[in-house]
Structure formats: C-alpha cells, structure tokens
Structure 1
Amino acid sequence: MNTIRVVGIDIAKSVFQVCVWMVDGSIAYNKKISRSKLLDCVRHFEPGTLIAMEACSTSHFWGRTFRAMGYNVRLIPAQHVKAFVRSQKNDAN
C-alpha cells in the first residue's frame, strides 16, 4: 500500500503548488491549487501527514491552520529550500 510521506506546498499569492511524495519515492501528483480550494485539498490527506513549506509570513498562518487540523507541519528556512532547486525556479519545480 502506498502511503504519503510528505506533502510539499509552495505558497504564492493566489495559486499554490501542492506536491505529494509517496513512501516509495514516487510523486503522486504535482498540482496548482487555488487559495479557496487549498483547505479542501489538504483535508483529503490522513491526519498526521507531514506538510512541508518554505518559511515566510503566510506560511506561519497556514502552518497554524494545518496543525489545528491535526497535521505535522515543518517550515523550512529559505536558505535550505534553495538547495532543492535544480533548474530555473518556478512553482512547479
């Protein structure tokens, strides 16, 4: 059975990029989600799922919201996120 290992969320002004990484190393999906549909998208994950986001002012708000919903949230400092970018930076990469 494939289970979710990490949900990565790239926060933007009105459209968020949500990437779901499975335990076996595969990417289940990588989608753009509007601000109004983000909570509905996250509610589909099991409680206790790890959600990772780049630390910024709005990620603290979303982090508190997701923690209240029962998820584990990790905010990653920007200097550590930069190491994961292999090519031109955009939300999908």
Structure 2
Amino acid sequence: MGDGVMPKETIYDLVGTFDVQVGWQPTPTGSVQLGIETHDGRSIAEHLTGDGETPANFTGLWGTLDREGINRLIRTLRRARDSAFGRDE
C-alpha cells in the first residue's frame, strides 16, 4: 500500500496465494488503492516465474481507483457474487 494510505482492510484468500488489500485516504485528497499481496512472503516475480533467483522482491501490486472506478468495481463484484453463489436475500 502506498505510504500514508489509511485505514486499510485485508481480505484474506483462503485457498490461493494472494490476499486483497483496500486502503483509502479520506477527502480532501480522497484516494483509494486496491491491491494484491502474497501472504507467504515470496515475491510476486517468484510466483510468476517459479524462479527464486528473480531480483524483483516486491510482494504486492496496487492500483489507484477514482470514485467512478470504485462504483464499477462494486457493481462487478456484486454481479460476480450473485452469479457464483446466488443472490443474497
């Protein structure tokens, strides 16, 4: 997560390798970051290449979303959830 982005929530992956993190900075700067991070301490590059000698040692990747992007993501996640598990009552 970028420096100074608080608070932060982590959604732990129960079956895979990556956890999802969401961090935000309240207005007036108003930013939201969404990222994935390995929970086993290995680097992203090592997971992708299988090579423990890869010099890249970062364990996560993050992107910054604006309000429109967040709203689209929420709609997409709801649609995916409902398709995968059925609608919540």
Relative contact order (alpha carbons < 8 A, sep ≥ 6): 1 or 2 greater? 1
Q: TM-score, normalised by structure 2?
A: 0.32
Larger Rg: 2
